[in-house]
């Protein structure tokens, strides 16, 4: 099997220091959490950023500051910014990090209930996001929370908005979308095109179950505070690094070697960038 790519989603837009004091907000906290994740085996950082008070932002300057700080500590890490931001942000607000020319960024492939709110990703919005990513040479990571989101991504691909080979992230366990169960993971992974590369994300208590099954199926994995704050039941993780360490130890037991960032770039067919 191919080497395992571990993505660390280190802060997200919804979790707070009240829930876990280790959730990073400041530029230096975000960079340190990226470093801890890298040191434990993550090759990709899925990046959201916050103001110092914790409010989520897609501000380009804040993203630039965080990306520069991460690159200073870990020059080889792949940085995968969010274009999802937080529920309720406008498309233009969300698209700001694409102006920083990352190698890869998220593309949320449909509108759905996100907890009590609606996360809006209409087809016209998706087309705009794809156009903007294409112009800037950014590979989309198609975030799919439902089977229909895979069909939408493939519709966009047939119509030239997304290129092959395509990267997917199957995200399960968001309240309002698909549950984090193995049957759904297998069904969705089986629905991907042959050329796809893919990652699985279990939100909440299924983080490690979903990761273990994805690893056995040859997929890649995402862990981190954006999706789960606990190392085990009742035990908060004191850093993202601990969550990466745990998933790396499961990988070792299951016989999956871990990809370094350069290997992850080759597996994902990322365009080379001069930083
Ligand atoms: N914060 C969620 C509403 C992404 O990064 O693209 C959206 C999200 C997905 O986290
Ligand atoms: Zn995200």
Distance 46 CA to ligand 2 centre (A): 7
And the tokens for 193?
Answer: 């095109």
Residue 275 predicted with pLDDT over 60: no
Torsion-angle region of 217 (φ positive above 0: left; ψ -120 to 50: alpha; else: beta): alpha
Task: Enumerate residues 6+ apart whose C-beta is below 8 A from 107.
Answer: 83, 126, 129, 130, 133, 140, 141, 142, 143, 153, 162
pLDDT digits (tens, 9 = 90+) for 119-170: 999 999 999 999 999 999 999 999 999 999 999 999 999 999 999 999 999 9
Q: Are 82 and 107 in contact (CB under 8 A)?
A: no
- Does the CB atom of residue 129 touch ligand 1 within 6 A? no
Mutation to probe ligand 1, out of 56, 63, 119 (largest number of atoms < 8 A from CB) = 119
Mutation to probe ligand 1, out of 85, 96, 222 (largest number of atoms < 8 A from CB) = 85
Mutation to probe ligand 1, out of 9, 11, 13, 50 (largest number of atoms < 8 A from CB) = 13
Q: In the structure, what pLDDT confidence band is assigned to residue 273 with cuts at 50, 70 and 90?
A: low
For ligand 1, atom 1: residue with the closest CA: 86
pLDDT digits (tens, 9 = 90+) for 59-84: 999 999 999 999 999 999 999 999 99
Specify the pLDDT at position 274.
Answer: 56
Q: In the structure, what pLDDT confidence band is assigned to residue 271 with cuts at 50, 70 and 90?
A: confident
Which of 268, 260, 245, 257 is closest to 3 using CA atoms?
Answer: 257
Q: Determine the Cα–Cα distance for residues 245 and 243; give it in Å rounded to an integer.
A: 5
Closest approach atom of ligand 1 to CA 114: 3
Superfamily (CATH H level) for 6-268: Aldolase class I (3.20.20.70)
- Does the CB atom of residue 119 touch ligand 1 within 6 A? yes
Distance 48 CA to ligand 1 centre (A): 8
- Does the CB atom of residue 225 touch ligand 1 within 6 A? no
Closest approach atom of ligand 1 to CA 107: 6
Task: Enumerate residues 6+ apart whose C-beta is below 8 A from 191.
Answer: 147, 150
Closest approach atom of ligand 1 to CA 226: 10
pLDDT digits (tens, 9 = 90+) for 3-37: 999 999 999 999 999 999 999 999 999 999 999 99
Specify the pLDDT at position 25.
Answer: 98
Full-prediction pTM beyond 0.85? yes
Residue 237 predicted with pLDDT over 60: yes
**What single string gives the DSSP state of each residue in 202-258?**
E-GGGHHHHHHHHHHTT-EEEESTTT--EEETTEE-SSHHHHHHHHHHHHHHHTPPB
pLDDT digits (tens, 9 = 90+) for 177-231: 999 999 999 999 999 999 999 999 999 999 999 999 999 999 999 999 999 999 9
């Amino acid at each position: 099997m191919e080497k395992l790519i571990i993505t660390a989603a280190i802060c997200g837009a919804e979790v707070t220091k009240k829930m876990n004091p280790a959730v990073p907000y400041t530029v230096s906290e975000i960079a340190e959490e990226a470093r801890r994740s890298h040191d434990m085996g993550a090759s990709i950082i899925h990046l959201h950023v916050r103001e110092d008070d914790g409010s989520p932002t897609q501000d380009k300057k804040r993203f630039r500051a965080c990306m520069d700080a991460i690159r200073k500590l870990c020059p080889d890490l792949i940085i995968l910014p969010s274009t999802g931001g937080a529920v309720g942000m406008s498309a233009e607000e969300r698209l700001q990090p694409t102006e920083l020319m990352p190698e890869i960024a998220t593309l949320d492939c449909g509108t759905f209930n996100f907890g009590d709110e609606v996360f809006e990703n209409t087809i016209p919005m998706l087309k705009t996001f794809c156009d903007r990513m294409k112009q800037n040479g950014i590979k989309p990571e198609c975030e799919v929370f439902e089977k229909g989101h895979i069909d939408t991504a493939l519709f966009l691909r047939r119509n030239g908005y997304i290129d092959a080979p395509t990267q997917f992230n199957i995200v399960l366990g968001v309240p309002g979308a698909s549950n984090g169960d193995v049957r759904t993971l297998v069904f969705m992974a089986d629905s991907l095109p042959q050329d796809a590369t893919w990652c699985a994300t279990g939100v909440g208590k299924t983080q490690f179950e979903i990761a273990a099954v994805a690893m056995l199926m040859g997929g890649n994995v995402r862990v981190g505070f954006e999706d789960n704050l606990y190392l085990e039941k009742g035990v908060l993780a004191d850093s993202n690094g601990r969550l990466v360490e745990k998933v790396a130890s499961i990988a070792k037991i299951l016989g999956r070697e871990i990809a370094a960032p350069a290997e992850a770039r080759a597996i994902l067919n990322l365009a080379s960038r001069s930083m």
